[in-house]
Structure 1
Amino acid sequence: MDHEKVNILLVDDQPAKLLAYEVILKDLGENLVIASSGREALEILLKSEIAVILVDVCMPELDGFELAAMIRDHPRFQKIAMIFISAIQVSDIDRLRGYEMGAVDYVPVPVVPEVLRAKIKVFAELYRKTRELERLNQELEDRVRARTAELESSTAKLLESEQRRSMAIAAGKMGSWDWDWINGDWMWDEGQYRIFGVNPETFNVTSASVQALLHPDDVDQFRKAIAEFNTGTRAYEAEFRVQRPDGEVRWCVGTAAATLDGNGRVVRVSGVTVDITERKRAEERQNLLAREVDHRAKNALALAQSIVRLTRADDVKTYVNAVEGRINALARVHTILSLSSWQGAEINKLIEEELAPYSLGGQIRLSGPEVQLVPATAQTLALALHELFTNSAKYGALSTRSGRLAIGWEVNGEMLALTWEESGGPLVRQPKARGFGTKSLLASVESQLGGQAQFDWRAEGLLCRLEVPLTRKATLPAVEKFGAAIAGELQRASG
């Protein structure tokens, strides 16, 4: 097997000896470097990597012992193997001195070639093996550093991922848990404690304590999940409710997965819990809104149908105008209620919308505090005001430029009192029979809202007083009661 050649330094002041050493060591196949003095040897050492030094003890200027001492003083050369060659018989003291200077062996003169080659070969191989071990060690250290860097990078990424997961769990109202199926131990993360509304420092997580926090109607589902895992189910997902210690109920969706042993038995169940309370509430609001929209649409159609069926007129044009006016009044109050998300309507806004089509300048005066009407009251009062405006524009104060109308309102406890006072218009006579407008107004205010409507047909102008409750809750849909009340009123009048 080919191996890397090493440098062997031969140091002697006699050229004949150097030549003899070269001949003896040539068969080793190493690089033989020649130095004829100690100083030259030092120069070579500074420029080259030397495996073994073969040095003559007796040299002028700088003998072998002094050269060895100088080599050992240099940190880079302290481990180089040095073999002394001595043509004189050395004493034990000289040998000891040589070993102290760093010599590893002595070769006496005359040199036995086989012995010299054997010794040089041993130290050359030792040097080569040492260098090989150093390279392997360096490669190992490099791999260790690379692996350590990979582990550090992987750990940093894992930590970053865990931080992102924790942030995602916190932001997404999520929690994770782990249940040792064998010994019953539970492990919850921070999100899980937060969802269940318990303190991690005081709450002991057990199957019983977890079950105690479930809504009573969902406990059987928890037991069902346990039973299914015991019969081989690998994964389970369900919606359930958590009843926190403070009484708040939270909706959650839970997913769980089982870990099995070699025999297919469950040894661990892990899962994630997501708080979906806001989503559930949004769904409930959406469903409620859908039902309300459906209900309002049906009621609006029912009311429009009642208006069409019950309106009376002498000719088609009058009939069409009356129907359009009442449906437009209904549309205007619906617009106001829609802008408030059907929370209610302000009474002054309601009146302004009803009087807008008349463009009467300063003929109308409004006075009263801000009052918020619930949708049913706003809808009914809007139709009642429409009838009053329509009658006044046809026969009352608003039919002439000299006429005046004062509308005022006040709140007395839970009642709204509205006064309609006309003056300056044509001479007023009390009608012999009530028209549809009057009948519908009385029916809506009294029968639907449980209020009162009083009419005083004064000669100088109509005085009408309406009292309606502000907080009355209708037990039936408002428009259905309105239509039924009008139908009953007309039926009684015709009878």
Structure 2
Amino acid sequence: MDHEKVNILLVDDQPAKLLAYEVILKDLDENLVIASSGREALEVLLKTEIAVILVDVCMPELDGFELAAMIREHPRFQKTAMIFISAIQVSDIDRLRGYEMGAVDYVPVPVVPEVLRAKIKVFAELYRKTRELERLNRELEDRVRARTAELENSTAKLRESEQRRSMAIAAGKMGSWDWDWISGDWMWDEGQYRIFGVSPDSFAVNPANVQALLHPDDVEQLRKAIAEFNKGTRAYETEFRIIRPDGEVRWCVGTAAATVDDSSRVVRVSGVTVDITERKRAEERQNLLAREVDHRAKNALALAQSIVRLTRADEVKAYVNAVEGRINALARVHTILSLSSWQGAELSRLIDEELAPYSLGGQIVLAGPEVQLLPTTAQTLALALHELFTNSAKYGALSTRSGRLAIRWQVENQLLTLSWEESGGPLVMTPKSRGFGTRSLLASVESQLGGQAQFDWRAEGLLCRLEVPLTRKTSAASPSGKFEDASSAELQRASG
């Protein structure tokens, strides 16, 4: 039998009767589910979709009437078909009570197999048809909802499109026009006059006057559009420039569509003009910014490459720490410059970023005015400060709690003078040779910034004096891309 099987629940406390029901109903080819008590039947109902319930009226603990009442209390089973089987003679009052409990039929004992099968088959088929109808209704509702949503979406898009068009015209960025191809008459709306910077009171719309407002290099676009329509083109779009009567050049994009007669001859051309000057300017700024970002990225990568290649250490861990420290210093100044859109960086901010890990209970004193550094100066000076802080933390004043560090700076005639004075730390000995950090500091300050770096290895603490011009244009600022070679060569000399 080609149908989807349904579940039929057989409820009786006597196994022999359950077996008899199974034998009688086997030919229906449905799923027979067995429950030997009312409570077991309730558990089955909560887990399984049941089409028909065949229940014995007389059962211990929970009889058929009580089970039916409990089933009907659940919203999910209020329409489930229940057939009572009674082995005792029932009166009309008993039948009425059964129907009130939700029974759809009574079957007396002894059971006539053909009658029971016929009754079960009817309700099983009714359940199947009901489910099919519910499925079809759901599908229909889904289609109706989808169609309604589609219509609402289309309406919303049309409304939104009209609102955008109205807002664009109101803002003076869009205009529409119409050209009678046969008579040569033109019609412009207010937005079109506004884009071209002319007044409807004094400007006569005709091909000659319109062409006079086009940029000389874009006049050919108009001729090409006319030729395309004569060849059978029905729509055309192009970008062009106009020169307003006051001399201002504006960028526009024009879209045109042709209307033809029965013989496919063009009779009218209508179109929309959009002022895209601001977009064009934004694109130019974006292209310039992209080139600038590319240039600065190459500069930063060149510095990182030099740091990695030229850092020296006796063991891997020391090498990794040294490289990470210098790269992090470069990253910190890059963040500061990014926040200012690469306009520059405050010297005090650079110092704050570098001293953050070492600021211990007033050990460090800062004094100096606000100084705005050029991006390239900030990058180089940040690496120099990093080397000073690192050396001090390893061997100088910041290596002990008794140490003190004073950083003072001043500006005079565009020359930044920064003094680094350590005291209270370990006894200082003049080094026999300069390490990479000191040599790279000297190379970066003197070669890249055109300044001077002086070191005084006093016994009570290092005294360093940096002099940095604030206006010198270094090789790093040049858009020629020569920074990489210059910086690498200078650091190479420092490591040699």
TM range (shorter): 0.5 to 0.7
Secondary structure, in 3 states, of the residue corresponding to 2:365?
strand
Counterparts of 2:217 and 2:183, CA distance in 1: 27
Aligned to 1:484: 488
Q: Give the CA deviation at 1:452.
A: 0.3
Shift of 1:273: 0.8
Question: How far did residue 246 of structure 1 move?
Answer: 4.3
Q: Sequence identity, in percent?
A: 77
Which segment drifts farther, 376-385 or 321-330?
Answer: 376-385
Hey, what's the Cα distance between the residues in 1 that align with 2:321 and 2:164? 67
Aligned partners of 1:399 and 1:408: how far apart in 2?
A: 20
AA of the residue aligned to 2:404 = R
Relative to 1, partners in 2 of residues 1:164 and 1:254: Cα closer, same or farther, differing over 3 Å?
closer
Relative to the length of structure 1, the TM-score reads 0.58
Q: Compared with structure 1, are the counterparts of its residues 250 and 440 closer, same or farther at alpha carbon in structure 2 (3 Å cutoff)?
A: farther
Q: Partner letter of residue 467 of structure 1?
A: V
- Which position in structure 2 is the counterpart of 1:318? 318
Cα deviations by residue, 1:59-97 (Å, 9 ceiling, x for unpaired): xxxxxxxxxxxxxxxxxxxxxxxxxxxxxxxxxxxxxxx
Q: CA deviation at 1:467?
A: 0.8
Q: What residue number does 2:393 align with?
A: 393
| Contact kept in structure 2, 1:415 and 1:468, CA below 8 Å | yes
Q: Count residues with an aligned counterpart.
A: 331
Q: Name the residue aligned to 1:243.
A: 243
For residues 412 and 181 of structure 2, the distance between their equivalents in structure 1, rounded to whole angstroms, comes to 68
For the residue of structure 2 that corresponds to 1:342, the secondary structure is coil
Contact 1:403 1:424 in 2 (8 A): yes
Aligned to 1:455: 454
User: What SS does the corresponding residue of 2:473 show, helix, strand or coil?
Assistant: coil
Q: Which residue of 1 aligns with 2:218?
A: 218
Asked if the contact 1:447–1:485 (Cα under 8 Å) also holds between the matched residues in 2, the reply is no
Post-superposition Cα deviations, 1:221-261, rounded to whole Å, max 9, x if no partner, equal 22222222233322210122333344444332110122345
- Counterpart amino acid of 1:446? E
* Separation in 2, partners of 1:339, 1:214: 42
Aligned 1:194-209 pairs, distance under 5 A: 194-209=194-209
1:348 match? 348
Counterpart of 1:47 in structure 2 is: none
Partner of 2:470: 469
Once residues 179 and 347 of structure 2 are traced to their aligned partners in structure 1, the CA distance between those partners, rounded to angstroms, is 61
Instruction: Supply the distance in 2 between the matched residues of 1:240 and 1:416 (Cα, whole angstroms).
Output: 51
1:206-227 Cα deviation digits (max 9, x unpaired): 3333333333432322222222
How many angstroms apart in 2 are the aligned matches of 1:351 and 1:191? Answer: 56
Alpha-carbon distance in 1 for matches of 2:277, 2:301? 36
Q: Counterpart in 1 of 2:123?
A: none
- Distance in structure 1 (CA, Å) of the matches to 2:247 and 2:371: 36
CA distance in 2, matches of 1:163, 1:319: 63
**1:369-384 superposed matches below 5 A:** 369-384=369-384
- Secondary structure at the aligned position of 1:313 is classed as coil
TM-score normalised per structure 2:
0.58
Question: Counterpart of 2:329 in structure 1: which amino acid?
Answer: A
Secondary structure of 1:271's aligned partner: strand
Which residue in 2 is equivalent to 1:179?
Answer: 179
Distance 1:226 1:359 in 2: 75
Partner residue in 2 for 1:68 = none
Q: 1:402 deviation in Å?
A: 3.8
- Structure 1 residue 388 displacement after superposition: 1.6
- The amino acid that maps onto 2:193 is Y
Query: For residues 448-477 of structure 1, what are the alpha-carbon distances to aligned partners after superposition, in whole Å with 9 as ceiling and x for unaligned?
Result: 33x302214152532212313247371155
Q: Post-superposition shift, 1:322?
A: 1.0
CA distance in 2, matches of 1:318, 1:164: 62
Map residues 64-213 of structure 1 onto 2, 5 A cutoff: 166-171=166-171, 173-213=173-213
CA offset digits 1:279-330 (Å, max 9, x no partner): 3344444555555555544544433222111001222232222111111111
Is the Cα contact below 8 Å between 1:439 and 1:486 reproduced in 2? Answer: no
Q: Matches of 1:401 and 1:162 in 2, distance apart?
A: 72
Would the alpha carbon gap of residues 389 and 202 (structure 1) be closer, same or farther in structure 2, given more than 3 Å must change? farther
d(CA) in 2 for partners of 1:251, 1:443? 50
Could you tell me how far apart the structure 2 residues matched to 1:438 and 1:244 are?
62
| Whole-angstrom CA distance in 2 between matches of 1:404 and 1:381 | 22
More deviation in 262-271 or 388-397?
262-271
| Larger Rg, first or second structure (1 or 2) | 1
Would the aligned equivalents of 2:237 and 2:253 in 1 still touch at CA under 8 Å? Answer: yes
Partners of 1:195 and 1:417 in 2: how far apart?
A: 56
How far does residue 428 in structure 1 lie from its aligned partner after superposition?
A: 4.4
Deviation string, structure 1 residues 146-183 (Cα, Å, up to 9, x no partner):
xxxxxxxxxxxxxxx99995444224721111234445
Letter of the 1:355 counterpart: L
Provide the secondary structure at the position in 1 that maps to 2:253. Answer: strand
Asked if the contact 1:336–1:345 (Cα under 8 Å) also holds between the matched residues in 2, the reply is yes
Over 3 Å counting, the alpha-carbon distance change for 1:179 and 1:419 in structure 2 is: farther
User: Amino acid of the residue matched to residue 448 of structure 2?
Assistant: Q
- TM-superposed CA distance for 1:357, in Å, is 1.3
C-alpha contact 1:445 1:468 (8 A) present in aligned 2: no
Alpha-carbon distance in structure 1 between the residues aligned to 2:191 and 2:268: 20
2:234 maps to a residue whose letter is R
Q: Which runs of 5+ in 2 are unaligned?
A: 1-160
Q: CA, structure 1 residues 487+236, in 2 after alignment: closer, same or farther (shift >3 Å)?
A: same
Distance in 2 (CA, whole Å) between partners of 1:408 and 1:202 is 69
For 1:315 and 1:163, locate their aligned partners in 2 and report how far apart those are by CA, in whole Å.
69
